[in-house]
Amino acid sequence: MRALSVLWILLGALMLAGCAKKPTTVPEGAGSTAEQSGTAAGQGEGQIGEGRELPGASGSPTGGPAGVAHIIYFDFDRSDIRPEYASLITSHAKYLAGASAVKIRLEGHTDERGSREYNIALAERRAQAVRRALMLQGAQDTQLTTVSYGEERPAVAGSDEAAYEKNRRVELVYGR
Amino acid sequence: MIFRRALLLLCALAWPMSQASAQLTVQILRGMAESVPIAIVPLAWEGSGQAPWDIAATVQSDLERSGRFRALKREQLIEQPQTASEVDAADWRMLKVDYVLVGKLSPAAEGRFELRYELVSIANGERLLGTTMPVDGKALRRASHRVADAVYEKILGVRGAFATRIAYVAVEGPVTKRSYRLVVADSDGANEYTVFGSPDPIMSPAWSPDGRSLAYVSFHTGLAAVYVQTLTTGQQVRVSAKAGINGAPSFSPDGKQLALALSQRDGNVDVYVLDLGTQALKRVTDDPAIDTEPAWSTDGRSLYFTSDRAGAPQIYAVGLDAGARPRRVTYDGSYNARPRVAPDGNALAVVTLDRGAYRIGAVDAKQGTLQVLSSGQLDESPSIAPNGADILYTSRVSGRDTLAIVSSDGRIQRQIAASSGELREPAWSPFLN
């Protein structure tokens, strides 16, 4: 058993050594690699099960125009922005147009129904709809990034329409 | 778009020896009336002390879990023959048993064993199987699955898939503080271990055709990327991390290419094929609609995928030759998604909207006709066993995602209960050597 553990340690060391020599070219469109590889390699077992607070999923959103909501809700299997959100979009777009250094991340979500990867695509389409609406009113492309979580990060638990309508959303997260 | 020579190696340390917490148990919800009656006689142990493993119990559990066999309880065994010649057909006929499995386990040199088993047909007294195999002392459970595979194949005419593995995503914690683990276990849920864990979502595990690697999506960097991880070494390679969506990976039948779904900067999701050797990326679909969830045809020359180009998600197929035009496959129902191709290539397992419920359906690949197989309210993520006999999927039961199995004809339904957490997106391995 001891020999086995030693073997694992040696294997691990070899792998890490091998790692350091590999080229770390970044695929097009990828972010900082140093941080990313650090995260993956440091993902020890102790971290499993602890989880962490989700950005935007709870607590009070920060940044952006005062007194304006940060979440846009959608109809089932739709990605068009309902007319009631016109003023919300305008407020955020104007704020961004006036503060070119500010960046926001548009996080798209769906409810839990249907296929997971299809929902990833649907949530991305929702985030893109918000991105285009913000750009039409003055926000710059460079200020906006999108990420789609599909049905993976519901705002609320539950399998009824009340839960579903809170989960079909795009969250505008400032400072990302 | 040009994909440069761009491969980032992430040497995540895996934990091959660690034990996951959830214990899995299988419950048969709907069995076959005509299940095969069989007697599995405890194997004679020719060594000293206790037998190192109850092979007969594992074989019995495998066969019963398939829903296709009903085994005599041990206390009902009237005699315990050790060889085929000792089986008295008249006695077993009285117990209404069609087959009897007998055998012996003997110690051999250096911690090894010799396993000998015979299968007898009671109808005519014929010996159907007679096999002697050497077994490593650490592989007795695996050897038991191999015996079950042989019995299943001899009686049903279909190769057994007990000596295979499953991968799935285990999720724990409340919605605001979840943890995700990619888990691999034996087909009966035993020997499970965590391949990769993260506080951020893990999705869409897919086996390489040699059963040695898994491709999956992880958000652990904050953005979605596709990784391929080798199970024996734990080495994790990031194969796609473009702007937007990197999702739905699927290995080609030769294991050299990965089909996946990528979005452009404008969010238009299309299907691509990535050559894992050269990193060359080829666009397969080009449509403003959502095109995702690619699955290879068995000959590797075309892809099935989900598209909402006609308004709602349906299954399409497209050849990989230049200029090939997608063809719509499904017309039944308003929602068909996430195709998985049966080993014989003749059927697809899909998620279908059936009278307000999301269920698993089987689509005839040529005719496009659909048969609903499962009966849950929120069933998804079908994965077909390598022998084509069963479909493993996710089902929502009492507000929790758990795993379930339905036979590919819909007649047998089983539910796999986990002691804790939620289990989703199962992927059944190919046959393993």
Token pair of B44, please? 């004679």
What are the residues whose beta carbons fall under 8 Å from the beta carbon of B187, sequence distance 6 or more? Answer: B145, B161, B162, B163, B164, B165, B166, B428
Cα–Cα dist A122/A135, whole Å: 20
Q: Domain ranges for chain B, please list them.
A: 8-21+164-428, 34-156
Checking if the pLDDT of B187 tops 70, the result is yes
User: What percent of chain B is predicted at pLDDT more than 90?
Assistant: 85
Residue of A nearest to B290 (CA): A121
Q: Does domain B34-156 have CATH number 1.10.12.10?
A: no
Strands B112-121, B69-71: pairing is: unpaired
Backbone angles phi, psi at B194, to 5 degrees: -85, 125
Q: How confident is the model at residue B229 (pLDDT cuts 50, 70, 90)?
A: very high
User: Which of A10, A79, A112, A115 is the mutation pick for testing B, counting most B CBs within 10 A?
Assistant: A115
Beta carbons of A121 and B269 less than 8 angstroms apart: yes
Beta carbons of A40 and B220 less than 8 angstroms apart: yes
Q: Which residues of B touch A149 (CB under 8 A)?
A: 201, 219
Look at residue B22 in the predicted model and tell me its pLDDT.
62
Residue type, B45: W
Tell which residue, A109, A94, A108, A110, has the closest CA to residue A143: A94
Question: What's the mean pLDDT in B89-117?
Answer: 95
Q: How confident is the model at residue B323 (pLDDT cuts 50, 70, 90)?
A: confident
Comparing A55-69, B150-164, B228-242, B383-397, the range with the smallest average pLDDT is A55-69
Q: How confident is the model at residue B383 (pLDDT cuts 50, 70, 90)?
A: very high
Q: Which residues of B touch A22 (CB under 8 A)?
A: 8-9
Q: What is the pLDDT of residues A72-126, one digit of tens each?
A: 999 998 999 999 999 999 999 999 999 999 999 999 999 999 999 999 999 999 9
Comparing A27-41, B48-62, B239-253, B390-404, the range with the smallest average pLDDT is A27-41
Cα–Cα dist B122/A69, whole Å: 74
Question: What's the mean pLDDT in B150-177?
Answer: 95
Architecture per CATH, domain A71-174, reads as 2-Layer Sandwich (3.30)
Beta carbons of A137 and A154 less than 8 angstroms apart: no
DSSP B140-207: HHHHHHHHHHHHHHHHHSS---TT-EEEEEEEES-TTS-EEEEEEEETTS-S-EEEEEESS-EEEEEE
Cα–Cα dist A133/A72, whole Å: 12
Look at residue B417 in the predicted model and tell me its pLDDT.
80
| Residue entry with tokens 């060359």 | B280
Q: What's the pTM?
A: 0.85
A72: closest CA of chain B, how far (Å):
18
Distances from the Cα of A93 to the Cα of A146, B145, B372, angstroms: 15, 62, 47
Token pair of B57, please? 């119990």
**Residue B18 DSSP label:** P
User: What percent of chain B is predicted at pLDDT more than 70?
Assistant: 94
What kind of fold does domain B8-21+164-428 have according to CATH?
Neuraminidase (2.120.10)
Checking if the pLDDT of B171 tops 60, the result is yes
Look at residue B267 in the predicted model and tell me its pLDDT.
82
**Residue B396 DSSP label:** E
Task: For residue A36, give the nearest of B176, B221, B351 by CB distance.
Answer: B221
Any bridge partners for residue B116, and if so which?
A: B104, B132
Cα–Cα dist B43/B340, whole Å: 39
What is the Cβ-side half-sphere exposure of residue A57, based on CA atoms within 13 angstroms? 21
- Interchain contact, B10 vs A37, CB within 8 Å: yes
Look at residue B164 in the predicted model and tell me its pLDDT.
98
What are the residues whose beta carbons fall under 8 Å from the beta carbon of B351, sequence distance 6 or more? Answer: A114, A115, B335, B336, B337, B338, B358, B359, B360, B361, B379, B380, B381, B382
Strands B8-10, B236-240: pairing is: antiparallel
